[in-house]
């Protein structure tokens, strides 16, 4: 087994064991965790369908905004759109086509400011901002799903040529900074047939998708780790067999040589 101390074998053993450890302790648990998150989201969505919409003022306290405990809940709110502070999230894809997501603040009847996700509009390209209908003027009553923010750590928000704020994520904090409005964290994702809605954002995660995608990925990583270890054992055993065969051959040749000398 001294051959395992050679540099090539040391490198192979380190790589294989390192990969197996990563597969068992990092990659597989990461996918198991994603599956648990997806399952929790789906349970929250399913529960929201069985729960009638409640007033936004009752579900979300002023200040903290929407959080994980209220996400996906259906809420109703009455207020007035503030189109002058509208923002557009670019680089969306809807049914395989480029799209933008339109976010318009709403001042509620109680004076709070809530970001409303009016839905998406198909674009010619990811960088294009197409024309779309303005929200209705005057008081409106809306129903939608509460969603948490999608913070952009790089804060890539920029003002567009028409004055609308251009974003890469649905981040209420970016809208608040650009507009000076006290926009609360989170947003209301409009349902179909609501005043000002465009193409409603599909509820995610998709209920019709593959139910065990992340779980299957986790099992694949475990399988890859096991295969890597078995392959290492196989190559070590193969090297031992080859070395044993060479030793036997050398002994046989030595015996033949000695027998020839005796003759």
Residues 9 and 73 in one domain: no
Which residue shows structure tokens 């789906």?
42
Bridge partners of residue 144, in order along the sequence: 75, 190
Same domain as 64, residue 27? no
On whether both 96 and 120 belong to a single domain, the answer is yes
pLDDT for the residue 207: 40
Q: What count of Cα atoms within 13 Å lies in the side-chain half-sphere of residue 112?
A: 19
In this structure, are residues 95 and 67 in contact, taking their beta carbons and an 8 Å threshold? no
d(CA 31, CA 217): 6
Beta bridge partners of 158: 166
18 & 61 share domain? no
Give dist(CA 3, CA 5) in Å, integer: 5
Shared-domain flag, residues 63 and 135: yes
Residues 156, 71, single domain; the answer is: yes
Indicate if 218 and 184 belong to the same structural domain. no
Residues of the domain holding 253? 2-39+212-262
Task: Please give the model's pTM, rounded to 2 decimal places.
Answer: 0.66
80 found inside a domain: yes
Q: Which tens digits make up the pLDDT trace of 68-118?
A: 889 999 999 999 999 999 999 998 888 889 999 999 999 999 999 999 999
Q: Does residue 115 sit in helix, strand or coil?
A: strand
Are 84 and 119 part of one and the same domain?
yes
Query: Is 57 found in the same domain as 26?
Result: no
Work out how many domains the chain is built from and give that number: 2
Q: Provide the pLDDT for residue 212.
A: 53
> Which range has the top average pLDDT, 6-15, 126-135, 190-199?
190-199
């Amino acid at each position: 087994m001294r051959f395992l101390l050679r540099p090539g074998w040391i490198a192979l053993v380190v790589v294989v064991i390192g990969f197996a450890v990563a597969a068992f302790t990092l990659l597989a648990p990461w996918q198991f965790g994603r599956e648990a998150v997806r399952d929790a989201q789906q349970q929250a969505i399913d529960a929201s369908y069985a729960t009638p919409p409640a007033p936004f003022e009752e579900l979300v306290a002023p200040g903290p905004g929407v959080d994980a405990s209220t996400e996906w809940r259906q809420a109703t709110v009455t207020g007035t759109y503030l189109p002058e502070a509208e923002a557009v999230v670019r680089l969306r894809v809807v049914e395989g086509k480029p799209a933008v997501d339109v976010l318009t603040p709403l001042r509620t009847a109680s004076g709070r400011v809530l970001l409303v996700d009016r839905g998406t509009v198909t674009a010619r390209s990811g960088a294009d901002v197409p024309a779309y209908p303005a929200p209705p003027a005057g008081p409106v009553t809306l129903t939608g799903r509460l969603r948490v923010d999608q913070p952009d750590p790089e804060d890539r928000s920029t003002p567009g040529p028409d004055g609308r704020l251009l974003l890469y994520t649905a981040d209420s904090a970016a809208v608040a900074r650009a507009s000076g409005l006290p926009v609360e964290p989170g947003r209301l994702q409009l349902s179909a047939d609501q005043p000002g809605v465009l193409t409603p954002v599909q509820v995610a995660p998709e209920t019709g998708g593959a139910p065990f995608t992340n779980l299957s990925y986790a099992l694949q990583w475990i399988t890859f780790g096991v295969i890597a270890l078995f392959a290492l054992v196989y190559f070590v055993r193969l090297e031992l067999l080859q070395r044993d065969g060479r030793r036997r051959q050398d002994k046989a040749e030595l015996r033949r040589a000695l027998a020839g000398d005796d003759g």
